[in-house]
């Protein structure tokens, strides 16, 4: 066979729930591994924010939808020897299967590398898979496949309720769920069949242990299991939404080997080549087990396993799919041992999902068989308490861990108060939600026995006992404070004493053993302070900066007692062999730190990562972090990273010199600072989380590189920033601090509704909302105050019909070095993270562009910026107003960097290090092509969430495509984000008169399609008067016609523009929107986007849109 010289690697597209950053990690490792073998890699992935789509010598990047027609065009251009589908999630796998079915691979003589397509097909078809397992005497849960509702109902009767419904060919358990009766089954199956051709009805194994194995097999038949993982939540909660530990904690050797043997038997019988994930259900009272499913590709679990063990799974798998034997591959982590081994861990890794459900209006908080989480964290410790408490802090970004969730605080007597009736508690525990872990802790605090909780939740008693032990230590800390309090004859002197003095008195004299016990159980310094003070001052409410200060009292006392964490390596061999691994964590279960090899004499920087992915902080910031690390290395600096997100590239084993897989808390940053002693910290690369820490780090005298913390504060604090703008005579929307009722009323009187309500210091518009009347204003105000108690809530004028423009820039000591200006397709009012961006801007007058530039330069100068920054503007009637300024890298940095060909982060890194004066870089404008970035939404998975776009961000990912016209790039980009042109039927309901008017052209175009068009009465009347005939459906008959049309899949395109953001208006269209999304319709809730999309489609049909396929490299070289 011809040796492999060039391959196409399929990416996973935009991030969505169930398919997130883990595939950037796996794809990127694969690229590096393949290139090491001298193979040229061509990447097809429209996700411009990923590391894998960064242009590099010898690599080719195609920003196109991962769909057969586009991939075929790339095949025609590049003529690769093979295609690799195992590293781009379900998207890549589905694409490869279709490429094969359509005969495209055969036609072009392209080999599929890795597991054979027929096997992939078999693993994806649950019925075929079950048959093949049975043929090997491997037990699978009793199940039947159905492609129609009636068949599903009959199958459930045979198997017996409760049953579990699973959709075939779906990622993240989409459309899956439990059904206890035919009614529930009907609901689930209808939803699932809307997006999937087949469902599976299975025996319910609720309460069984869920265990996963990560397996690798080479083409010579050598197979190993790299890691096993056990779910804290028993079967019933999707593994992506479960707390997961690695390795398994409650399995005996017999059970471990039984499931391991079965995993190996499966990959051998299917002749898997590369990675495979096997999921099991294990009876908690016997050795009975079933295979639940397998994923014959890299997955979220394999990414987690890779970070949990340190074994570079994707790196090795990539070599295996090109035909190498596992025996001949070296473990790159040790350099001298074989990759053919099974890692031994000497720590416990705990993964906790990040849900971020509060960002979605109306969403159900229960978790189950459909994945809802949007990111995850991984915590490493040497005790269960240490790891789980770390994990909780990582996922809540709360220094005090689960104490932030005390919903049943102890009374002053030191006993817990029983406010919940046991029955209510039972219900809270029985239903899995995103907060169940905290409910369990609360129950334990109320002295509910772990056995009782076990009976209700089926969570293994070992885990519950582990939590109970932590609660006991918590009690011990509280008791100490109680004893101190009781020793005081009167409360009077206490009331007047300073908090720090009280804390000092309580904790002074605590033994070294006590300190060790507290820290080994995972309590942070701040949580110890909180526990103690809560006993003395039950209503103590302090600002964050005071807590930072108070925690230092604890830290000082602890250090005096000689209790400090040690650094340990994750080396894949549990210390059996010497290792040069730089993969580190901190623990209190240990006396001596591992020796860390450092190259002496280099300048050093510590980069803070962004933590878990969430709405508003995703892979784009990982790209920024990686670009920064690469530049640091290039400039000869030594780099350390702190991050806790297993789905990232920045936590890969050889991108930094020291990698601390740790919390991004002040306490931990101080610990790492003590070990590494870097020249300074870089906080500007990884989004809002590290940026928010900057003022506190400065408060603690930790040196920062880049922007001054005062600049950060001045930009983040609305009041200070506004004063700055006034001083610079830069326009801004009118605003007021919502301090008093009078101030609010006066502002409303002056400006009128709508009014924007927003807290300071927030990311992705959290709790930002538009008030349209007094009622909504009141509701939004209280919500905003809840989110940010420390900073004032701001009311500002809201502009209708204004254009939104963004400037991304890099400055050195106040001098703007490079700027990039993009414009939004949507008018102001849609969060910039959800908006469609065009870069370079196409429709701005030169004088507006100049104004934007000038304002950018002025702000950079005034704040003496030193690093990356982003400014958002409103443009209306020739006026340019500044809305906000982020003095850090923004979401659009990878987009403007890749489209302009100038890596803004590399430049920003040099500016931050500030070793020499840098020349300004001019971004060639206009370029011969442009990019359009669109948002990717995951509403299909978020049952109940309102898919309407507004000022609060809701997208989970993004894609961007290039073109020589906005039309070309927009069509590609929207297609890549899942927007499909109408083909079956359209439903239109447009809110206000002016929006209806702006849709005239679009509706005109729709009429030409000769497909059924429906509209609500007002909308239908409006267009009828203009000669456009739409079938009228009244709102009253919601529940009948409209719902039925969607349910019968007669519609595939829904235009629903709410009049405003009032509760009544939103709830009117809510049912239609959620139903449309559930049934896989394209939903448009924005006028400008709808208009541009339909016009572009029309021009394409007329042959006016060029459709060319070219690589990012070619574009940047100025191909045309």
Please report, as ranges, the residues that interact with other proteins according to CB under 8 A: 220-222, 224, 247-254, 256-257, 260-261, 264, 284-287, 325-328, 336-338, 340-348, 382-384, 451, 460-462, 465, 468-469, 472, 566, 568, 573-578, 589-592, 594
Phi then psi for 238, rounded to 5 degrees?
-50, 140
Q: Which is nearer to other proteins, 525 or 571 (CB)?
A: 571
CA atoms of 59 and 720, how far apart (whole Å): 46
CA atoms of 694 and 671, how far apart (whole Å): 16
* Residue appearing with tokens 């191909």: 1119
Q: Which among 10, 27, 58, 55 has a CA at the least distance from the CA of 1112?
A: 55
Residue 466 CB, nearest distance to other proteins (Å)? 8
What secondary structure letter does DSSP report for 410? B
Residue 574 CB, nearest distance to other proteins (Å)? 4
Tell me the C-alpha to C-alpha distance, in Å, between residue 391 and each of 394, 643, 664, 749.
5, 12, 11, 47
Q: Which is nearer to other proteins, 284 or 944 (CB)?
A: 284
Residue 627 CB, nearest distance to other proteins (Å)? 34
Phi then psi for 764, rounded to 5 degrees?
50, 35
* Segment holding 1017, helix H or strand E: helix 1017-1025
CA atoms of 913 and 910, how far apart (whole Å): 5
Residue 485 CB, nearest distance to other proteins (Å)? 21
Q: Which is nearer to other proteins, 339 or 1055 (CB)?
A: 339
* Start-to-end Cα distance in the chain: 38
Q: Which is nearer to other proteins, 287 or 980 (CB)?
A: 287
Q: Which is nearer to other proteins, 101 or 455 (CB)?
A: 455
CB 297 within 8 A of CB 314: no
Q: And the tokens for 752?
A: 């009128």
Q: And the tokens for 96?
A: 């490869």
Q: C-alpha angle 784/869/376, rounded to 5°?
A: 60
CA atoms of 328 and 235, how far apart (whole Å): 38
Q: Which is nearer to other proteins, 568 or 668 (CB)?
A: 568
Residue 109 CB, nearest distance to other proteins (Å)? 28
CB 26 within 8 A of CB 84: no
Residue 660 CB, nearest distance to other proteins (Å)? 17
Q: Which is nearer to other proteins, 182 or 590 (CB)?
A: 590
Q: Which is nearer to other proteins, 230 or 397 (CB)?
A: 230
Angle, helices 1000-1008/1087-1101, rounded to nearest 10 degrees: 40
Residue 334 CB, nearest distance to other proteins (Å)? 9
**Bridge partner residues of 660 (DSSP):** 584, 642
Q: Which among 115, 436, 387, 366 has a CA at the least distance from the CA of 249?
A: 387
Q: Which is nearer to other proteins, 261 or 1064 (CB)?
A: 261
Q: Which is nearer to other proteins, 578 or 1039 (CB)?
A: 578
DSSP string, 314-365: HHHHHHHHTT--GGG-B-TTTSSSBSSS--B-SSEEEEEEE--GGGSTT---
Q: Which is nearer to other proteins, 8 or 473 (CB)?
A: 473
CA atoms of 766 and 616, how far apart (whole Å): 9
Q: Which is nearer to other proteins, 205 or 987 (CB)?
A: 205
Angle, helices 619-634/893-900, rounded to nearest 10 degrees: 60
Q: Which is nearer to other proteins, 511 or 843 (CB)?
A: 511
Tell me the CB-side half-sphere exposure of residue 744, using CA atoms within 13 A: 18
Residue 455 CB, nearest distance to other proteins (Å)? 12
CA atoms of 756 and 798, how far apart (whole Å): 6
Taking the C-alpha atoms of 613, 619, 625 and 630 in order, what is their torsion angle to the nearest 10 degrees?
150
Looking only at the bridges linking them, the beta strands covering 209-217 and 223-231 are: antiparallel
Cis bond before residue 86 (omega within 30° of 0):
no
* Residue appearing with tokens 């794809």: 27
In 3-state terms, what secondary structure has residue 1115? helix
Residue 122 CB, nearest distance to other proteins (Å)? 25
Phi then psi for 1059, rounded to 5 degrees?
-60, -45
Q: Which among 886, 840, 820, 879 has a CA at the least distance from the CA of 859?
A: 886
Q: Which is nearer to other proteins, 285 or 486 (CB)?
A: 285
| SS3 per-residue string spanning 942-953 | CCCCCCCCCCCC
CB 1018 within 8 A of CB 1036: no
Q: Which among 85, 22, 87, 693 has a CA at the least distance from the CA of 376?
A: 22
DSSP string, 756-784: EEEESS-STTTT-EEE-SHHHHHHHHHHH
Q: Which is nearer to other proteins, 344 or 1029 (CB)?
A: 344
């Amino acid at each position: 066979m011809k040796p492999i010289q060039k391959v196409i690697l399929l990416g996973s597209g935009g991030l969505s729930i169930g398919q997130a950053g883990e595939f950037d990690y796996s794809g990127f490792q694969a690229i590096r591994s393949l290139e090491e073998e001298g193979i040229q890699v061509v990447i097809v992935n429209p996700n411009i924010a990923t590391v894998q789509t960064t242009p590099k010598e010898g690599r080719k990047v195609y920003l196109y939808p991962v769909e057969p027609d586009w991939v075929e065009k790339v095949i025609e251009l590049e003529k690769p020897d093979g295609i690799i589908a195992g590293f781009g999630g379900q998207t890549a796998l589905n694409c490869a299967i279709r490429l094969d079915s359509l005969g495209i691979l055969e036609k072009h003589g392209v080999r599929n590398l890795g597991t054979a397509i027929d096997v992939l097909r078999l693993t994806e078809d649950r019925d075929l898979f079950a048959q093949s397992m049975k043929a090997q005497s491997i037990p699978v849960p009793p199940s039947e496949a159905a492609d129609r509702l009636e068949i599903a109902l009959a199958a459930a009767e045979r198997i017996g309720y409760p049953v579990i419904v699973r959709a075939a060919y779906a990622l993240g358990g989409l459309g899956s769920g439990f059904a206890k009766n035919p009614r529930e089954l009907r609901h689930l199956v209808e939803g699932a069949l809307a997006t999937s051709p087949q469902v599976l009805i299975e025996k319910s194994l609720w309460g069984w242990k869920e265990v996963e194995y990560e397996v690798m097999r080479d083409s010579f038949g050598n197979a190993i299991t790299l890691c096993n993982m056990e779910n804290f939540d028993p079967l019933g909660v999707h593994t992506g939404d479960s707390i997961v530990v690695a390795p398994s904690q409650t399995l005996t050797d017999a059970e471990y080997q039984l499931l391991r043997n079965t995993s190996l038997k499966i990959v051998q019988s299917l002749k898997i080549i590369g990675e495979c994930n096997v999921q099991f259900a294990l009876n908690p009272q016997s050795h009975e087990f079933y295979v639940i499913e397998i994923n014959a590709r890299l997955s979220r679990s394999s990414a987690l396993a890779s970070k949990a063990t340190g074994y570079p799974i994707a790196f090795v798998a990539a070599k295996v799919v090109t035909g190498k034997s596992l025996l001949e591959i070296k473990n790159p982590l040790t350099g001298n041992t074989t990759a053919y081994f099974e890692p031994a861990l000497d720590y416990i890794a705990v993964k906790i999902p990040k849900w971020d459900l509060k960002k979605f209006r109306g969403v159900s908080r229960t978790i189950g068989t459909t994945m809802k989480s949007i990111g995850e964290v991984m915590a490493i410790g040497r005790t269960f308490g240490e790891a789980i408490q770390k994990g909780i802090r990582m996922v809540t970004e709360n220094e005090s861990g689960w104490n932030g969730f005390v919903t049943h605080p102890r009374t002053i007597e030191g006993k817990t108060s029983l406010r919940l009736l046991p029955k209510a508690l039972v219900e809270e525990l029985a239903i899995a939600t995103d907060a169940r872990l905290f409910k369990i802790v609360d129950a334990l605090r109320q002295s509910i026995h772990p056995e009782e909780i076990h009976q209700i939740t089926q969570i293994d008693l070992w885990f519950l006992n582990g939590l109970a032990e932590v609660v006991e230590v918590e009690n011990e800390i509280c008791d100490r404070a109680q004893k101190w309090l009781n020793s005081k004859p009167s409360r009077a002197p206490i009331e007047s004493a300073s908090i720090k003095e009280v804390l000092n008195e309580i904790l002074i004299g605590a033994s070294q053993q006590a300190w060790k016990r507290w820290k080994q159980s995972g309590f942070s310094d701040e949580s110890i302070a909180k526990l103690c003070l809560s006993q003395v001052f039950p209503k103590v409410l302090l600002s964050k900066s005071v807590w930072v200060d108070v925690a230092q009292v604890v830290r000082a006392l602890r250090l005096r007692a000689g209790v400090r964490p040690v650094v340990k390596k994750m080396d894949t061999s549990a210390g059996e062999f010497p290792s040069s691994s730089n993969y580190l964590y901190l623990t209190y279960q240990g006396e001596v730190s591992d020796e860390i090899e450092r190259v002496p004499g280099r300048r050093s920087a510590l980069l803070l990562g962004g933590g878990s992915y969430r709405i508003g902080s995703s892979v784009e910031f990982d790209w920024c972090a990686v670009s920064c690390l690469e530049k640091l290395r290039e400039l000869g600096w030594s780099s350390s990273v702190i991050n806790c997100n297993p789905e990232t590239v920045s936590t890969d084993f050889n991108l930094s010199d020291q990698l601390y897989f740790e919390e991004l808390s002040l306490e931990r940053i101080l610990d790492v600072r003590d070990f590494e002693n870097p020249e300074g910290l870089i906080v500007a690369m990884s989004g809002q989380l590290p940026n928010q820490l900057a003022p506190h780090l400065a408060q603690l005298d930790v040196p920062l590189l880049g922007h001054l913390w005062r600049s950060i504060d001045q930009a983040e604090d609305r009041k200070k920033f506004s004063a700055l703008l006034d001083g610079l005579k830069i326009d801004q929307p009118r605003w007021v601090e919502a301090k008093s009722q009078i101030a609010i009323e006066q502002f409303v009187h002056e400006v009128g509704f709508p009014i924007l309500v927003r807290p300071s210091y927030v990311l992705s518009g959290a709790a930002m909302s538009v008030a349209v009347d007094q009622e909504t204003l009141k509701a939004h105000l209280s919500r905003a105050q809840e989110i940010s108690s420390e900073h004032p809530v701001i009311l500002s004028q809201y502009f209708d019909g204004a254009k939104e423009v963004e400037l991304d820039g890099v400055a050195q000591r106040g001098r703007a070095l490079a700027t990039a200006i993009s414009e939004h397709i949507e008018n102001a009012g849609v969060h910039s993270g959800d908006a469609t961006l065009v870069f370079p801007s196409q429709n701005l007058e030169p004088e507006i562009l100049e104004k934007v530039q000038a304002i950018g330069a002025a702000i950079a100068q005034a704040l003496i910026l030193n690093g990356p920054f982003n400014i958002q503007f409103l443009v209306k009637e020739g006026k340019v107003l500044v809305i906000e300024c982020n003095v850090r890298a923004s979401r659009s940095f990878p987009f403007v960097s890749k489209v302009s060909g100038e890596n803004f982060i590399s430049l920003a890194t040099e500016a931050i290090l500030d070793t020499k004066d840098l020349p300004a870089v001019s971004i060639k404008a206009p370029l011969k092509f442009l990019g359009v970035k669109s948002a990717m939404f995951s509403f299909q998975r978020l049952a109940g969430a309102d898919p309407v776009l507004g000022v609060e961000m809701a997208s989970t990912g993004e894609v961007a495509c290039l073109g020589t016209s906005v039309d070309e790039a927009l069509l590609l980009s929207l297609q890549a984000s899942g927007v499909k042109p109408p083909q079956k039927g359209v439903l239109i309901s447009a809110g206000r008169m002016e929006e209806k008017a702006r849709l005239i052209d679009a509706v005109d175009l729709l009429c030409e399609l000769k497909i059924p068009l429906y509209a609500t009465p007002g909308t239908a009347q409006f267009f009828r008067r203009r000669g456009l005939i739409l079938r009228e459906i009244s709102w009253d008959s919601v529940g009948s016609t409209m719902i039925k049309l969607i349910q019968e899949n007669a519609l595939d395109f829904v235009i629903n523009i709410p009049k405003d953001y009032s509760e009544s208006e939103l709830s009117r269209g809510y049912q239609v929107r959620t139903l449309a999304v559930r049934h896989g319709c394209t939903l448009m809730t924005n006028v400008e986007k709808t208009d541009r999309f339909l016009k572009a489609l029309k021009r394409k049909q007329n042959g006016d849109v060029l459709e060319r396929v070219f690589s990012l490299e070619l574009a940047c070289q100025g191909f045309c």
